Structure 1
């Protein structure tokens, strides 16, 4: 199945439910087809890292509705928790036994302790333990995709990426990715094992030269780029022209932001997160929004080009 985004044009978001498949499909690692509009589970346990706590019933309902809307790529992590609420647990409770086409991606690396304090870089043994923790929490015998999350200059060396590659060889991990990575860290990881995704920050408000270079590098190499905080981290960003473009399309600012992100590169996969059913449907509906050249020029008039 080829990677594709050549779908029928749409000038406005339809009022009926829009499937995630409307954003096109990416063949992850050459063998896992995922819709380019996915879902991020970070906000399910709590609105922020410090709370307030999420609603377990609402979290499960959001996950089930996401799958109903065709989302088949869910991003999570064992450190997505608030007190005794865990994104991984919600995913298992809501969706297990999992649909055959559902791809669950997780992350390992710097972790959080039970008091919510961030810890330092994890060594090989801790990374392996974190993979097994994700397997237990999700109720799976293998993980579709595991990202090694870097912390600043901390890279894949010292046997860290090798540890994950070993678990991949054992069949516990299907594909590997990197997060918070520089091109040099990506190359170092690729020298150990294939890398199919890069999960770095990117949004209309955070599109510096380093991010643009990494996106271009991923596109050349057939690596998916999965931006975290695709809406900027605290809702749709304040970008000149955003409201005008949204008004023209009968869309919301968040929908235009997501549509813009997907337009940047065919290798881009969106994983907006929410704990609200209404916001979930709004986000997924952005899969059906097509921005024209005038829209894109207006949205990026005050920003450097992405090429």
Structure 2
């Protein structure tokens, strides 16, 4: 998402830098990259193709959320739109089959089951390998699982934001062995209210943001955090968080 311009609209100021971020991620062994057709719109998918991501990593993209120039995000789960967007995303990414295609957000104006059935049809037709959901409840996950195998769920979740509903979703993902992809794993930097995070960071010679990422990895075996960045330095710091081992006591203090 952060490979785009300001407010996730249009091209970044430095496209060479954006490609360099992706290339460095691949060099560091990152093998899962999340994007969406609405990031730019289209900008992120194109840059990922130009940087070679689809050849060396699982690239997960999404459909079902429109982006307006004024900054609004508008749910749009119309089946015909999704069928169109899978073709657009395949072209931008330069692939015949999308690794993981996610329903970006339920649309209150479109029947949820109809939207998910469209993703199931795209899988049957060979356009995508796996189906994912984003921003869903446990009930919506259960409904979708009756239609198609669900590989992943992507909801907002981090050490500072753990509402009961998303805890229930994570529990369900653990039960069904579904990958859980927390978006905003760094809480958009808002970690001031997390008790003990700075003390724990100091003990590990790390930043509070690295500890927040390490917490997600320790929280569950099905967790796939997706920290976004437009900087190689930040990327390297994020990847290094995977080497931080938090103790049982530290996890308990973080909650």
Q: What's the TM-score, normalizing by structure 2?
A: 0.93
Contact 1:45 1:87 in 2 (8 A): yes
CA distance in 1, matches of 2:107, 2:82: 17
The question of 1:237 aligning with 2:191 is answered yes
CA distance in 1, matches of 2:39, 2:140: 24
Cα offsets for 1:11-52 (capped at 9, x unmatched): xxxxxxxxxxxxxxxxxxxxxxxxxxxxxxx01113533689
* CA separation of 1:137 and 1:199: change in aligned 2, threshold 3 A: same
The question of 1:91 aligning with 2:48 is answered yes
* CA separation of 1:111 and 1:231: change in aligned 2, threshold 3 A: same
Query: More helix per residue: 1 or 2?
Result: 2
Contact 2:5 2:40 in 1 (8 A): yes
* CA separation of 1:73 and 1:155: change in aligned 2, threshold 3 A: farther
**Mind listing any 5+ residue stretches in structure 2 that lack a counterpart?**
none
1:58 CA drift (Å): 0.9
The question of 1:157 aligning with 2:157 is answered no
State the partner residue of 1:212.
167
* CA separation of 1:120 and 1:258: change in aligned 2, threshold 3 A: closer
* CA separation of 1:52 and 1:176: change in aligned 2, threshold 3 A: closer
Counting matched residue pairs gives 254
Picking from 34, 40, 46, the partner of 1:75 is 34
Cα offsets for 1:84-116 (capped at 9, x unmatched): x711111011116712xx100011112114554
Bigger Cα displacement from structure 2, 154-163 vs 209-218: 154-163
* CA separation of 1:74 and 1:259: change in aligned 2, threshold 3 A: same
CA distance in 2, matches of 1:206, 1:137: 33
SS at 1:196 equivalent: strand
Picking from 63, 68, 79, the partner of 2:22 is 63
Q: What's the TM-score, normalizing by structure 1?
A: 0.78
1:54 CA drift (Å): 4.1
CA distance in 1, matches of 2:159, 2:182: 11
SS at 2:102 equivalent: strand
CA distance in 2, matches of 1:194, 1:153: 23
Picking from 93, 103, 114, the partner of 1:138 is 93
**Mind listing any 5+ residue stretches in structure 1 that lack a counterpart?**
1-41, 301-307
Picking from 200, 203, 209, the partner of 1:254 is 209
SS at 1:150 equivalent: coil
* CA separation of 1:52 and 1:248: change in aligned 2, threshold 3 A: farther
CA distance in 2, matches of 1:152, 1:253: 35
Contact 1:156 1:189 in 2 (8 A): no
CA distance in 2, matches of 1:132, 1:290: 42
Bigger Cα displacement from structure 2, 272-281 vs 290-299: 290-299
* CA separation of 1:124 and 1:135: change in aligned 2, threshold 3 A: same
